[in-house]
Each structure stands twice: as structure tokens, then as C-alpha cells.
Amino acid sequence: MRLLNVNSLDFQEFRDNNRSSYVAASHRWLSEGEATFQDVRDRRNMNGKGYQKVEAFATYIRVHLAPISAELCLAYLADVRTGDGISTFEKSEWFKRGWTLQELLAPRMVVFVTKEWHVIGHKGESTCAVCRPFIGSGLETTISRVTKIPEEVLHDYKGSINLSVHDKMKWMEGRETTRPEDMSYALFGIVGVSLPTIYGEKDEGARQRLLATIQQRDKLAAQQAEHYRKIADWLASPDPWTDHESARRRHEPRTGAWLLHHNQYLAWKFRSCRSLWIYGKAACGKTILCSTAIEDVQGLCKNATEIGHAIFYFSFSDNNKQTYRNLIVSLVVQLATKEPGLSMLRQAYEKAERRQPGLDELQKILSASIASYDEVFLHLDALDECPEGDGVRQNKYVSTQMSRDRKLSRLERFRTMIEDTLAQKADGMFRWVYCQLQMLKEIKGSRPSSVQAALRALPKDLDETYERMLDKLIEDDRPYALTLLRWLVYAQSQVVPGWMQKNI
């Protein structure tokens, strides 16, 4: 990159990895006498209006913008005089030229100055407190009215990510360019295409070439999306967003908002800490809180392609959402949409044997995918519903419960037998383990034969477990149990135990 030093008016070369901060100059070209690169480099035509304008730009930047380290664009409006009302600003020729559309949208901030180099105001975001005296007030509302460009796009061009190409091309309406082809060429960067300029093809030729390129790009994007969907199907990736939608349906308006303002949550969101653990008793609303946090981060990541976001809801009720491998598969599918993770995933899919990648390969793809973002937000709900391999985590749970629960502590000398039996028969069902511990509490004696008999008679799965629970109800209680089950099944909103105890 070649930049002009505002102190010496000498050109300097910079590589991208060590370039200086800079200010871009935007202005209407003079009909004659505009300074060329050679004029500035060789100090030629220094008395010309064009050269004097370059000097004025350099002086203004050196005197007024030196305290600002942010990169911005300085727009010089020669047809707006100091003291003119806002209507004169709105009618400036600067808003009617084709190439100034890019100069309005591309920089994060544009500062507008009058013919006498006095600040009119600015467009774009600024968190720099020291900048305020040098950039004036925000002009987004006025500029939006003049240009028909949404204010959120003027604040940050990332806000245009969901706008159609047609919407963006309409921004050129009412503008003019000296060369007819430039009406299309000035749109290249705005609609995200890179094409050579071919002056002489006229406006119609340039427009047709632009539209054909956009159509070809969109077709290719659709093909790539379909190919990616096939890869996701091949991996049998669990869809966590179905769980998220379910959680949001159970969310009551204006609940959980306290989390979004909590200091610990804000510290995590704004990167002061790397992890945040929300814990509490079962069924106390942690999943709904997680869904609230997910919605919040989705808003943060909406237009930020450099920020990754992935979620996963572990679930007792879905075997595909209980294992570490399925977690990794889901995260890969959500995050491997950029290089190099995308190519690594495609290579795995296109292998001749078409076997699913092993865990090590999936972890490498995930690591590469995460590294392709500036930062990644990850939400994991109900991590305690993810059984670890070989029953390690279940054994920890059993061991903890037997130490803490008074009824289970009677069976301490049978701990190894109980842990081994539950680990062998659980088949990854953590809820099943929980239910069996509740049943073991009811063993009357603590003789080895009683414990062994109880372990041999354990139900084979959750269905049989629940069936035994219902069978143990005394006859008089069964109508009440049936009523409670009906409430649970047919209730339009979540029914909590406290309400049921009070009202039924």
C-alpha cells in the first residue's frame, strides 16, 4: 500500500502487516487542474488548485485528526459553505456522484467538511471519546433520507448482509458518473464481485456482465449449500436448533433478562473471561436461561462474519444428543463453513470409502474451524446429561450420592458392586442410573443377599423403570396419579410441581 505522509508530502510504501493508520480523502474532481500522482511525487504544478487541495487535506489531517488513531474517510464538500443550513448539505453534488457511494459505505466513519474545512458532522460508529470535537454530530438520519440507504447500514456496513443485490443496486439511482461504465463498476465492491474494468463496453455491457457474474455466484453458492447439507446428512449431525426453538416456546416474556445484565455474564460476553457456568437444581430453568443467552449472542454475531457461534443442547430424551462425538459433529457442522475447516471436511466426505471421520479427525477439523474466526462463542446446555465413556461420570455420580445420601450410605460396603452393575446396565442412560438409585434407597435391609437380589432385578430400560414406578402406586392413589399425568401431558404451558401440589 502506498500512502502520502501528511508531514512531508512524500509517498511511502507499506506492507499490509505493518501499515500505518491512515485517512482516506474523498472529493469531487475538478474539471481541470486536478493533481496527478506524478504532480505530487515530483512537486509539479504546485500552484494549481488540485495540488493546493492535496496540501489542504494534509494540513487538516495533521492539525485536526492527529489525536485520532482510527482509520476514517474525510469528505471535502466544495459546494457547501460554512454557515449553510442542512438543506445545502443534502443537495451537495457529493451525494449525486457514482464513486462517492463506495466512499460513503466502505469506511467505518466518514467525516464531512465544508469548503472552508469546517466540520459538518459524520456518519458511522465511533467509540473514541477524544474524537468527538473533530467529527461533529451524527448525520445518519439526514444521509439516509437523501440516499435511501438504511441508517443501520450507514452506522456499520455489516448491517447490509441480509439485503438483496437488487436493494443495493438501487442505491445508485439518481447518481451520475463521467464514464457510463462506471455506474456499474462503482457497484462491484458493494455487491461483492471482483471483475476487470473494460472501458468502451458502455453502461449496458458493464451492467449485463455484472448481473451475469452475480447470477453465476448465486448459483454456485446454492450448489455449495446443497453440497454442505449432504455432508451434514452424511455425518448424521444432530440439530440443536430444534431444542433451542422448543426452549424459546417455553420462555415467558421478560423473564431471564437479569442474566444479560449480570456482571459475570457481561465479563464473559465481552471477553474478560473465557467461560461461564450456570448451575442450579434440576428443572429450575437453566435451559431457558441458556436459550436467552443464545438469543443475545445471536444478535451480537448477526452481521459479524469474523465471529463464530455454535450451540448444543444435551438431552436425556434424545440418544443423538448425549455423546461427546455427537457434540463434536454438531460443532463441526456449525463452524466449518470457512477455510481451512471447510476443505478438510470436504476431503473427508470425498474419500473413496466414504467412511465417517474418526474422533481425532473431527477434532482437528473443529480446531481448524475455530482458528479461522477472530473469536467463537459456544453454548452448551445440560452438560450433566452427557454420559462419559466407560461409565466414568456415572460412577462419579453414584459415588457422590452414596456418600451424601443417608439412605444410600447404608450400602457403602457394596459401592463397587453397585457402581459396576449400574455402569454395565445403564447403556449411557444417566436418567436410568438416577432412577435406580432412588429404588435402591428403598431396600429394607443391608444384607449382601438383599442387595444382590435388588441389583439382579433392576429394570432393563427407562420404560420398564417407569412401569414399575406406576405399578407400585397404591390403588387409592392411582386416580390422582392419572389426573397429574393428564395435566402434564395436556397443559399448554409448563406445570411446576409447587403449583400442582397447591391446586390439585
pLDDT digits (tens, 9 = 90+) for 267-323: 999 888 899 999 877 667 899 999 999 999 998 887 788 999 999 999 877 878 888
Specify the pLDDT at position 308.
Answer: 95
Preceding omega of 180 cis (within 30 degrees of 0) = no
Closest alpha carbon to 335 in 299, 368, 302, 288: 368
Reduce the DSSP state of residue 176 to 3 states and report it: strand
Within 10 A of 391 (CB to CB), how many other CB atoms are there? 21
Within 10 A of 22 (CB to CB), how many other CB atoms are there? 15
Backbone φ and ψ of 355, nearest 5° = -85, 145
What DSSP line would sit under 328-357, residue for residue? HHHHHHHHTTSTTHHHHHHHHHTSTT-PPP
Instruction: For strands 109-113 and 119-124, give the pairing.
Output: antiparallel
Specify the pLDDT at position 495.
Answer: 62
List b or e across 330-346, with b for residues whose CB sees 16 or more CB atoms inside 10 angstroms. bbbbbbbbbeebbebbe
Specify the pLDDT at position 386.
Answer: 65
Neighbour-count burial of 479, counting CB atoms closer than 10 A to its CB (0-12 exposed, 13-18 middle, 19+ buried): exposed
At 123, list the grid cell. Answer: 456518519
Helices H / strands E in the chain, number of each: 26, 8
Regions of the chain where pLDDT drops below 70 = 67-70, 126-132, 282-283, 384-394, 428, 492-504
* Cβ proximity of 337 and 364 under 8 Å: no
What region, left, alpha or beta, does residue 405 occupy, with left being phi > 0 and alpha being psi -120 to 50 degrees? beta
Specify the pLDDT at position 483.
Answer: 85
Quick: pLDDT tens for 68-124.
656 789 999 999 999 999 999 999 999 999 999 999 999 989 999 999 999 999 998
At 285, list the grid cell. Answer: 430453568
Backbone φ and ψ of 314, nearest 5° = -70, 150
Any residues with CB less than 8 A from the CB of 473 and at least 6 apart, and which? 481
Specify the pLDDT at position 390.
Answer: 42
Rounded to two decimals, the pTM is: 0.62
Block residue for cell numbers 391446586: 503
Q: Angle, nearest 10°, between helix axes 359-371 and 324-335?
A: 40
At 169, list the grid cell. Answer: 443496486
Specify the pLDDT at position 432.
Answer: 86
At 8, list the grid cell. Answer: 512531508
Specify the pLDDT at position 126.
Answer: 64
Reduce the DSSP state of residue 311 to 3 states and report it: strand
Specify the pLDDT at position 404.
Answer: 79
Instruction: For strands 11-13 and 2-4, give the pairing.
Output: antiparallel
At 401, list the grid cell. Answer: 450420592
Sheet holding 23-27, edge to edge: 23-27, 72-76, 109-113, 119-124
